[in-house]
Amino acid sequence: MKALIEHGNSEEIKSYMDEKVNPCDDFYAFACGNSNNSGLGHLIKKSFNRRLSIILNDQREDNYDTPIDKQVKLFYQSCKRIKIGSNYEESLRHLISEFGTMPVLEGDAWQESQFDWQETSARISYRYGVMPILAVVITSDFAENHINRAYLGHPEFHLQTKSMYADEEHAMERIDYKNKIQKILEKFLSVESPLARQTAQELLDFEVELTRELPQSHEDFIPDKLTISEMHERYSHSIDIERFFYLSLGESLTDSVYEHFPKYQRNLVEVLKRTPAKTLANYIFYQLVSYFSEFPSETEKKQSEACVDVTKKHFAKYLDNMAYRRNSNRNEISKEIEHIWQGLKNTFDPTLRNSSVLDWMEPDNREDAIKKLASLKLHINSYDENELATEYADLELKGVDYVKDLQKIRLLEMVQIRKAFHKPAKSQEIYPGETPVNIFATNTISIPVSLLEPYPFWSESYPKSILYGTLASLIAHEILHTFYGMGSSYDHNAELCDQQECWDNKTMKNFEKLDGCFKKQYKNYVYSYDNINLIENIADNGGIRLAYAAYRNWYRDVAQTLKDKEKLPDLNYSANQLFFISYAQNWCNNGEDPIKKSVKVFLPSQLEQQKKYDVEKFRAIGPLSNFKEFSKEFQCPINANMNPTNKCKMF
């Protein structure tokens, strides 16, 4: 069995690689160039979804099943029963009628005088949490994280980022989105094709206007804290802020609130002046209908798979908990993660104390960094079963009508959000995913349950180099976020401080000087891309160094007893080389996600070729080309693409 697992691991790694490529020319093409698969995140999601599918399709009662487990399974069944037809359309039209009428359905009979965009959107937000144009969100106060606070800002948009709506290179994504709008209008609401096409274009054009002042992904900003009266005064000529908050939350606020990225609201005011009421109404109701619309798949098998993702969207935390309770390997794998965690911290502590690389930190700032590392915690985010049971205790689903079941879920969730508003804030909550997350406000690295799945990157038969190249590098990446960027706005007690209080001016200037090296490097890699996220790039660079150092420490300690396990059959690579190959394969991407940001990325010597790659490519090659240990292991000559003379280093 052990040999079979090892062979399977070798074949998996080899299936990604194009060994004809010189690794010193383009390591991403070498590690990922022969693959139709995506990287680690894709494998983890696929493995975790397979487990969830088994759980959700098992209708037998067992010792694990709780009353809420049964409700989650009922919702999954209602999703599997989705069929486009008169019943679905009737449910959606009834949903619209709760808040008014939709012009594209009413034609000339629609009465503009009975429509108020603020009232309609705020009432939809209050009832179902769908926020089409302006969002009121309740979450912990970023400055005083023990209390909850209301925030006003932009909603989440379908294409997510400003560049996706503005840049010419993303025109195809916008066309796909317009086609989706048209299809929903036609299939779910029986709008005639010419009218659906015209309306879809109007709604897309409006959304493009709304997103002109979205923040760039690399922008850091602090929300404005205002009283309701002060915020109302800002927009009194165009938006009734006091009324909007009241309708959205069901109460008049006396506490201060935050305005998130005011540029969006200022742009919204101008867009509203030139937008017909009919377009506003169609947009608001389309967003409501879209939230409750799911297209059925071509086959029963595909529908079952799609409904796992749909159920995750609405029961993400609870599904993680269901999987965690049923994972017989969880204790063993949790111990392995804890071992990696301690190895990373034990490796980084002497670096913080003694390495000249970190002399850019002034002594006081360095001392606080040492304390932050010591207090940094690891948490496997399995959620509290009893707390989740309380949250969903009043849920009564039928498992027959998807729209009606989803209405019940959203109604209950919004009631609970409002109830929690004036209670002490919970720790910042991270929703499930496939990667670790740094929660600055609690000084905690959160590990999602999906990473407890066996075989994507670990088994007793796998070399530890793979585990350190994948999982450990991701955790190390998050550790480093603790010490700069938003992380540097919190001290070792996880209390918010002004960055100039946490960092003195000299530390800041030293950081910016080193930061400039990364800016110059990544501008050479990137063509036609205005969202260079150096916060992530710096963590990538430091993360791989930390993970590699921790791996070498582990290897040194076990060299006499386990080093023979650090090879794989049919792969003629050393343990160190397997570490780097595994790291790069974190970022393999076949571009299957149509919303994934696609950018043109080049190695300096390939600029004239103008090949298009996904953003993941330079997350692999950037850190490796800065790392002399990589060049040493693959014997890359000086000034090869992957071994430039000038290397950037922060940690």
Confidence (pLDDT) at 605: 35
**Residue 482: inside a domain, yes or no?**
yes
Please check whether residues 340 and 251 belong to one and the same domain. Answer: no
**Residue 60: inside a domain, yes or no?**
no
Least confident span in 311-315, 530-534, 611-615: 611-615
Q: How confident is the model at residue 191 (pLDDT cuts 50, 70, 90)?
A: very high
With 70 as the cut, is the pLDDT of residue 559 above it?
no
Q: Residue 148: what are its φ and ψ, rounded to 5°?
A: -90, 155
Please check whether residues 195 and 305 belong to one and the same domain. Answer: no
Confidence (pLDDT) at 391: 84
Q: Are 348 and 327 in contact (CB under 8 A)?
A: no
Reduce the DSSP state of residue 463 to 3 states and report it. coil
CA gap 251, 417 in Å, rounded? 13
Helix axes 86-97, 277-291, angle to 10 degrees: 130
With 80 as the cut, is the pLDDT of residue 9 above it?
no
Which residue is it, tokens 């029986």? 190
Confidence (pLDDT) at 345: 97
Q: Are 37 and 588 in contact (CB under 8 A)?
A: yes
Which amino acid is present at 71?
Answer: Q
Which residue is it, tokens 């800041």? 508
Q: How confident is the model at residue 311 (pLDDT cuts 50, 70, 90)?
A: very high
Burial 163-187 (b: 16+ CB within 10 A, else e): bbbebeebeebbeebbebbbebbbb
Least confident span in 221-225, 298-302, 466-470, 631-635: 221-225
H or E, element range at 381 = strand 377-381
Confidence (pLDDT) at 221: 65
CA gap 6, 605 in Å, rounded? 38
User: Once rounded to an integer, what is the mean pLDDT over residues 500-523?
Assistant: 87
CA gap 195, 197 in Å, rounded? 5
Please check whether residues 126 and 148 belong to one and the same domain. Answer: yes
**How distant, in Å, are the alpha carbons of 419, 547, 650 from that of 544?**
43, 5, 12
Please check whether residues 510 and 411 belong to one and the same domain. Answer: yes
With 90 as the cut, is the pLDDT of residue 44 above it?
no
Tokens of 490: 């919190």
Confidence (pLDDT) at 568: 80
With 70 as the cut, is the pLDDT of residue 355 above it?
yes
Please check whether residues 270 and 307 belong to one and the same domain. Answer: no
Please check whether residues 327 and 393 belong to one and the same domain. Answer: yes
CA gap 597, 594 in Å, rounded? 8
Which residue is it, tokens 């309380």? 390
Q: Residue 64: what are its φ and ψ, rounded to 5°?
A: -85, -30
Q: How confident is the model at residue 137 (pLDDT cuts 50, 70, 90)?
A: very high
Final residue in a domain of this structure, among 247, 273, 291:
291
With 60 as the cut, is the pLDDT of residue 120 above it?
yes
Confidence (pLDDT) at 609: 33
CA gap 391, 416 in Å, rounded? 7
Burial 311-343 (b: 16+ CB within 10 A, else e): bbebbebbbbbbbbbbbeebeebbebbeebbeb
Confidence (pLDDT) at 397: 96
User: Once rounded to an integer, what is the mean pLDDT over residues 161-172?
Assistant: 92
CATH code (residue 238): 1.10.1380.10
Confidence (pLDDT) at 602: 32
CA gap 286, 278 in Å, rounded? 12
With 90 as the cut, is the pLDDT of residue 647 above it?
yes
Strand pairing class (257-259; 135-140): unpaired
Confidence (pLDDT) at 330: 85
With 80 as the cut, is the pLDDT of residue 398 above it?
yes
**How distant, in Å, are the alpha carbons of 272, 387, 464, 549 from that of 554?**
60, 38, 9, 9
Indicate the burial class of 301 (C-beta count within 10 angstroms; 0-12, 13-18, 19 or more). Answer: exposed
Please check whether residues 389 and 275 belong to one and the same domain. Answer: no
CA gap 583, 159 in Å, rounded? 29
Average pLDDT score, the chain: 88
Beta bridge partners of 447: 380
CA angle 483, 485, 486 (to 5 degrees): 95
**Residue 92: inside a domain, yes or no?**
yes
Please check whether residues 381 and 474 belong to one and the same domain. Answer: yes
CA gap 296, 303 in Å, rounded? 6
Please check whether residues 318 and 444 belong to one and the same domain. Answer: yes
Q: Are 646 and 545 in contact (CB under 8 A)?
A: no
The domain tally of the chain equals 2
Final residue in a domain of this structure, among 271, 291, 311:
291
Q: What's the half-sphere exposure (Cβ side, CA atoms, 13 Å) at 82? A: 25
Per the structure, the complete domain to which residue 341 belongs is given by 2-54+299-421+434-633
**Residue 446: inside a domain, yes or no?**
yes
pLDDT 10s digits, 423-476: 998 765 666 677 899 988 889 999 998 888 766 656 666 788 999 999 999 999
Final residue in a domain of this structure, among 273, 291, 309:
291
Q: Are 569 and 13 in contact (CB under 8 A)?
A: no
Q: Residue 526: what are its φ and ψ, rounded to 5°?
A: -110, 135
**Residue 65: inside a domain, yes or no?**
no
User: Once rounded to an integer, what is the mean pLDDT over residues 139-154?
Assistant: 88
Give one DSSP letter per residue of 494-530, joined into a string.
S-B--HHHHS-HHHHHHHHHHHHHHHHHHHHHEES--
Beta bridge partners of 168: none
Please check whether residues 236 and 275 belong to one and the same domain. Answer: yes
Q: Are 366 and 351 in contact (CB under 8 A)?
A: no
Please check whether residues 370 and 439 belong to one and the same domain. Answer: yes
**Residue 312: inside a domain, yes or no?**
yes
Q: Are 533 and 217 in contact (CB under 8 A)?
A: yes
The pTM assigned to this predicted structure is 0.84
Tokens of 553: 């420490």
**Residue 68: inside a domain, yes or no?**
no
CATH code (residue 461): 3.40.390.10
H or E, element range at 165 = helix 162-166
**Residue 426: inside a domain, yes or no?**
no
Confidence (pLDDT) at 234: 92
Q: How many CB atoms lie within 10 A of CB 24?
A: 18
Strand ranges, E, within 7-156: 135-140, 148-153
Please check whether residues 180 and 322 belong to one and the same domain. Answer: no
With 50 as the cut, is the pLDDT of residue 610 above it?
no
Indicate the burial class of 437 (C-beta count within 10 angstroms; 0-12, 13-18, 19 or more). Answer: middle
H or E, element range at 259 = strand 257-259
CA gap 174, 197 in Å, rounded? 14
User: Once rounded to an integer, what is the mean pLDDT over residues 199-215?
Assistant: 96
